[in-house]
Structure 1
Amino acid sequence: MIRFLFYGQEGQHSVAQASYSNPIQSLRLNAKRQGSRALYPSRKEILEALSTIDQWKESYDVICLFSYEMGCILQNVAMPGDLPDGYPVTAAYAFAESAKTGVRQNLPGLDNEALASEFYTQGSVRDDDAQLSGGFDLGPMHSCLNQTDYNRHIQSIQEKIRGGLSYQVNFTAPLRTAFSGDPEAFFHWLRKRYPSPYSVFANLGDRQIVSISPELFFSCRPVVDYAPLHGEELFRKHHNSRDRRFADGFRLEVRPMKGTVRATKDNTENESLKRRLLESEKDRAELAMITDLLRNDLGRISPAGGVSLEKAIQPESYTYVHQLTSVISAFHPTGRLSEMIPSLFPSGSITGAPRIETMKIIAEEESEYRGIYTGSIGLIRSNEVSFNVAIRTAEISRGMLRYGAGGGITLGSEAGQEWKELHWKVRPVKPEKPGLIETMALVHGRIKNRKLHIQRMLRSGRVLRLPCPVFEARKDSSASPDRDSSPEINRANLTIQIQRLTQYLDQIQNENAIGRFRLRLHWQSNGTFSYSISRQEPRRKHARNSLWKIKIAESSMSSRDPWLLHKVDRRKCYNEGLAIARDSGYDEDLFFNERNEITEGSITNVFYMMDQRWYTPPIRCGLLAGVQRSRLLSKWGHRISFRPLKKSELETVQRIVLVNSLRGLIEASL
Structure 2
Amino acid sequence: MDKLSRLATAGIPFLFVISYDKQTVIAESLDNLKQFKVALHSKPSRTFKKKPKLQRSPIDFLEYKKAFDQVIEEIKAGNTYLLNLTFSTPIKCSFSLEEIFEMANAPYKLLCKEKFVCFSPEPFIKIENNVISTYPMKGTIDATVPNAKEKILANEKEMAEHVMVVDLLRNDLGIVGKNVRVKKFRYIDKIVTADKTLLQVSSKIEAKLSNDWHKHLGEILDAMLPAGSITGTPKQKTCEIIERVETHKRGFFTGVFGVYDGKNLESAVMIRFIEQGSNGLVYKSGGGITIDSNAKAEYQEMLDKVYLPI
TM-score by length of 1: 0.42
Shift of 1:94: 1.2
* Whole-angstrom distance in 2 between the partners of 1:149 and 1:168: 20
* Whole-angstrom distance in 2 between the partners of 1:370 and 1:151: 19
Give yes or no for contact 2:83–2:242 (8 Å, CA) kept in 1: yes
Helix, strand or coil: the match of 2:291? coil
User: Which residue number corresponds to residue 95 of structure 1?
Assistant: 30
Q: Pick the aligned partner of 2:79 from 134, 152, 165.
A: 165
Give yes or no for contact 2:97–2:111 (8 Å, CA) kept in 1: no
**1:196 aligned to 2:139?**
no
Give yes or no for contact 2:188–2:202 (8 Å, CA) kept in 1: yes
Q: 1:424 to 1:180 in 2, by over 3 A?
A: closer
Give yes or no for contact 1:215–1:391 (8 Å, CA) kept in 2: yes
Shift of 1:316: 1.8
Deviation per CA, 1:440-460: give whole Å up to 9, x if none. xxxxxxxxxxxxxxxxxxxxx
Helix, strand or coil: the match of 2:57? strand
Q: Pick the aligned partner of 2:191 from 305, 318, 326.
A: 318
* Whole-angstrom distance in 1 between the partners of 2:17 and 2:191: 24
* Whole-angstrom distance in 1 between the partners of 2:161 and 2:96: 38
Give yes or no for contact 2:45–2:102 (8 Å, CA) kept in 1: no
**1:217 aligned to 2:119?**
no
Helix, strand or coil: the match of 1:318? strand
Give yes or no for contact 1:135–1:185 (8 Å, CA) kept in 2: no
**Matched AA of 1:412:** D
* Whole-angstrom distance in 2 between the partners of 1:124 and 1:375: 21
Identity over the aligned pairs, expressed in percent? 29
Shift of 1:197: 2.0
Larger RCO (CA under 8 A, 6+ residues apart): 2
Helix, strand or coil: the match of 2:85? strand
User: Which residue number corresponds to residue 298 of structure 1?
Assistant: 173
**1:407 aligned to 2:287?**
yes
**Matched AA of 2:164:** M
Q: How does 1:27-106 map to 2 (within 5 A)?
A: 50-57=1-8, 58-70=10-22, 89-96=24-31
**1:425 aligned to 2:298?**
no
**Matched AA of 1:92:** A
Give yes or no for contact 2:101–2:111 (8 Å, CA) kept in 1: no
User: Which residue number corresponds to residue 236 of structure 2?
Assistant: 356
Q: How does 1:318-467 map to 2 (within 5 A)?
A: 318-319=191-192, 320-333=197-210, 334-335=212-213, 336-396=216-276, 400-428=280-308
Deviation per CA, 1:117-164: give whole Å up to 9, x if none. x9xxxx9747873xx8x9997674333x31111112111111110111
Q: Which runs of 5+ in 1 are unaligned?
A: 1-49, 74-88, 97-108, 224-249, 430-670
Helix, strand or coil: the match of 2:284? strand
User: Which residue number corresponds to residue 142 of structure 1?
Assistant: 57
**Matched AA of 2:187:** Q
User: Which residue number corresponds to residue 576 of structure 1?
Assistant: none
Q: 1:252 to 1:128 in 2, by over 3 A?
A: closer
**1:277 aligned to 2:229?**
no
* Whole-angstrom distance in 1 between the partners of 2:307 and 2:3: 39
User: Which residue number corresponds to residue 471 of structure 1?
Assistant: none
Shift of 1:196: 2.5
* Whole-angstrom distance in 2 between the partners of 1:178 and 1:188: 18
* Whole-angstrom distance in 2 between the partners of 1:345 and 1:393: 18
Helix, strand or coil: the match of 1:408? strand
Give yes or no for contact 2:46–2:102 (8 Å, CA) kept in 1: no
Aligned residue pairs, count: 298
Q: Which of the pair has more CA radius of gyration?
A: 1
TM superposition outliers: structure 1 runs of 4+ over 6 Å = 134-139
RMSD across aligned positions (CA): 2.8
Q: 1:147 to 1:203 in 2, by over 3 A?
A: same
* Whole-angstrom distance in 2 between the partners of 1:400 and 1:135: 22
Helix, strand or coil: the match of 1:68? coil
Deviation per CA, 1:420-442: give whole Å up to 9, x if none. 1111111338xxxxxxxxxxxxx
Give yes or no for contact 2:42–2:107 (8 Å, CA) kept in 1: no
Helix, strand or coil: the match of 2:106? coil
User: Which residue number corresponds to residue 139 of structure 2?
Assistant: 259
Q: 1:428 to 1:139 in 2, by over 3 A?
A: closer
Q: 1:180 to 1:136 in 2, by over 3 A?
A: farther
